[in-house]
Amino acid sequence: MSYLGPEFEPVPQRRSRRGPFTVALAALVPAVLAGWLVYEVVGDSGGSGPSAQAAGASGHSAAPSSPRAKGGAEGAGSPSASGRTDGKDPDSLRGKVVVIDPGHNQGNFKHPTEINRRVDIGTNSKECDTTGTATNAGYPEARFTLDVSRRLRTLLEERGATVKLTHDGDRPWGPCVTERAEIGNKAHADAALSIHADGSAVGNRGFHVILPDAVHSGTADTRAIAGPSRDLGVDIKDGFARATGTAPSNYIGGGTGLDVRKDLGGLNLSTVPKVFIECGNMRDSKDAALLTSAAWRQKAAEGMSEGIVSFLRG
């Protein structure tokens, strides 16, 4: 559709005889119209009024490009709905339940009667709990495990997981190993991790992850969870090694960083995928230097988190 302009009126036709003036006028009108259109299109193409609209419609002025045109398909290379582009989507673990078990309790040594009570772990009976170990300088395992557990909880909650600790420094002793397993079972945890540090001989260094054996004895039956627990353990081992830069144990597991046991009540009585991790040897000065470092403990928590995330994402 041609645009005639807001003030242009076509010349009405007459029935009168065409004289020289009429012929001249007839020749003049097309020239005036052509000149006006040239002015509107060329001389005023940068305006925002009707002239600019006409130019845009006729292809003389490029329209602004859209985000889709610049980036190809909409959403390509753009952040997720949460705004994260680093893979740590705060909704990535939503609906998942993780139970973290900080090994031992700093108050256990004040309650020898309670923690020495024997409990049934399926394959045999053991103490309700123990005091745990400590570095030569007196830094207790129970303090270490609670600190790392809290750090790990924060990381997993940032990804949307529901996280439950078997204790949070809020009880004078325990819980017993039977209760620790029961907490994970009742929570229907998708993954459970018990955090520890070892107390071995000087020169024994490194970490290892303890997996449940396929136990079927008394109240213990880990046959259904032994496979998934191994998968969880391998993922945690890999994540922990990457994040901390530490090597697998040089005294347990033959360098694999994995150990299978059937004498731990926290594993025997679990009905959900669960493993233990011994983060290092508190009795070796080099390992102790790592375990007592807040920066290293944060890396340890990050490695455990990455392992759990990998397992839960399948």
Coil, strand or helix at 75: coil
Helices of type H across the chain: 20-38, 50-58, 67-71, 112-115, 141-158, 177-186, 226-244, 265-268, 285-291, 294-313
User: Which DSSP letter does residue 214 get?
Assistant: -
Buried b (16+ CB within 10 A) or exposed e, 171-186: eebbbbbbbbbbbbee
CA trace torsion 65, 68, 71, 75 (10° rounding) = 160
Peptide bond into 79 cis (omega under 30): no
- CB contact set of 253 (below 8 Å; sequence gap of 6+): 208, 259
Among 40, 278, 302, 306, which one carries the catalytic annotation? 278
- 141 as an active site residue: the answer is no
From the CB of residue 60, how many other CB atoms can be counted at a distance below 10 Å?
Answer: 12
Structure tokens at 267: 């594993």
Give strand pairing partners of 119.
126
Kindly list the catalytic residues: 278
